[in-house]
Amino acid sequence: MPSNPMRNLSEYVKYDDYLKMEKAAKDFENNGRLKKVMRGSYQLLIRLLFFTGARISEIVGTPGGLVTKCMYPPFDQKKRMCPKWGKVGDDSACIDSECKYFRTHVLKAHHGIRVKDVLFEDRLIAIYGKNVKSKELKPRTVVIDEETLNLIKVHIEKYSLKSNDKIINTNTEGTKAFISRIGKKIGLPWISAHKFRHGHAIFCIQNGMDIRTLQQQLGHSNLGTTAIYLQFAIDDRKKVYDKVFNPKPNRVKVQCPSCGFTFKLKKNRDIEFEDKLRTIFD
């Protein structure tokens, strides 16, 4: 059964949510005790999540390894629901090596965004995304704003980061836990790293970005995946619809010969248009 995209996107990070999370991250870093994470990393991380739409693993990196999935119906990947999933020694595993619902795949190691991946002059960041068909990580470029670039530059200079150093020195699991913790603290218990990605896409669509550009920004191989976000471009759809089925009355632009002020007048078929203009300006 296909998933319901509206249900899947019912909760996403709006711009106001992003501002709250950014402030909460800043407060945490200013008041908390950081052990290994460089101060400023969490605040910059929150901004990168919302302003790039990149996956959390693409920003902070992730180690490689073997990932197992149990696709036992209802296909929600919850291993504990499978009757063949049980204890094997000190671990949990599928007790049937030939089970048709058991899946494994190799998760490629990911280095995250490094200093050399940021192209300051071009306002681009090279994002190395997931590509299950390739043995190597392949980059895509995402456009980024000047303010975020300045924050990255300050962060690099503050900690004297080298070319191959990661911008954000955290790991995927620790970052997810941090986002969940501060989300609950500020009254957004539903928030997760991936909901920033949805929020970025919806914010772009609502502010006029075309679907092809968004596809390149998100790194979707299938345009249909990106098209899911079009359901949120309600205002744009209304404007296009009204041009076809609810056109505005015929109006003309008129400029006052005295003051130069320009305004629009609706044509009146009952009165000669030139006579009407004379009446206005005499």
Q: Provide mean pLDDT across the span 185-206.
A: 94
Check pLDDT > 90 for residue 195: yes
8-25 core/surface letters (b: 16 or more CB in 10 A; e: else): ebeebbeeebbebbbebb
Chain centroid, CA 217 distance in Å: 9
Residue type, 19: L
Q: What's the CATH code, domain 5-62+110-236?
A: 1.10.443.10
Helices assigned H by DSSP within the chain: 5-8, 15-31, 41-52, 56-60, 146-159, 172-185, 193-206, 211-218, 223-227, 234-245, 273-281
Q: Are strands 138-143 and 251-255 parallel, antiparallel or unpaired?
A: unpaired
**pTM of this prediction?**
0.70
Q: What is the pLDDT of residues 109-162, one digit of tens each?
A: 778 899 999 999 999 999 987 654 455 667 889 999 999 999 999 999 999 999
Q: What is the mean pLDDT of the chain?
A: 79
Q: What is the pLDDT of residues 92-105, one digit of tens each?
A: 667 676 777 776 66
Q: Residue 239 has what pLDDT?
A: 76
Give the start-to-end residue ranges of the domains of the chain. 5-62+110-236, 66-107, 251-281
